[in-house]
Amino acid sequence: SISDGYKAAFQALRGDEMGFRIQFPSEWLAFAVGKHTKLVPEPAPKANPDGASFLSGFRVLLAQSVTEGGATADRAADLVSMSRSQLARRLKSLGTTISFEIEKAKLASAEIELAADSASIEEIAAKLCYTDPSNFARWFKRTSGATPSAYRRQSMTQDPA
């Protein structure tokens, strides 16, 4: 007979002309069931989260959201449904920090916008939540080594090959 714990997990639903349906946890499909097998789950393997895939997924989410309301540590943590401290610990274990990843995402976004030459430097600064374009220009120069206008000129003269 099935233990009370397993009975509670089953749900009999009202059926149609085909009869009744039974719902159960999908992981039960992996159980080896035989004539004398007890319906007891094997211990789950220890979780070994793939840090590289987490980091790349986090970077994609951050890149998509960096121009939507500013990039802060709390907002970055919300993107991956973690607290700020959980995200900080996770990123530290992967050899990076929240602030570094935010700066990297902002810089990549600014470089793409500047190379596209479709928006003014003031518009790009506003997109990245800089209220003053001169603050954006100082940050960009400190981070990339070139002023926004010099970066734009340089990207326009490079071969797209």
Q: Report pLDDT for 160.
A: 57
Is the pLDDT confidence value at 86 over 50? yes
- Contact assessment for residue 108 and residue 100, using Cβ atoms and an 8 Å cutoff: no
CB atoms within 10 A of CB 8: 9
| Mean pLDDT calculated for residue range 57-74 | 84
Is the pLDDT confidence value at 147 over 90? yes
Condensed to tens digits (0 to 9), the pLDDT of residues 105-125 reads: 999 999 999 998 888 999 999
Condensed to tens digits (0 to 9), the pLDDT of residues 17-64 reads: 555 555 555 665 555 555 444 444 444 444 435 667 888 888 888 988
Instruction: Please state, in angstroms and rounded to a whole number, the distance separating the CA atoms of residues 27 and 32.
Output: 11
Is the pLDDT higher at 33 or at 145? 145
DSSP 82-132: --HHHHHHHHHHTT--HHHHHHHHHHHHHHHHHHHT-S-HHHHHHHTT-SS
Give me the chain's average pLDDT, please.
Answer: 76
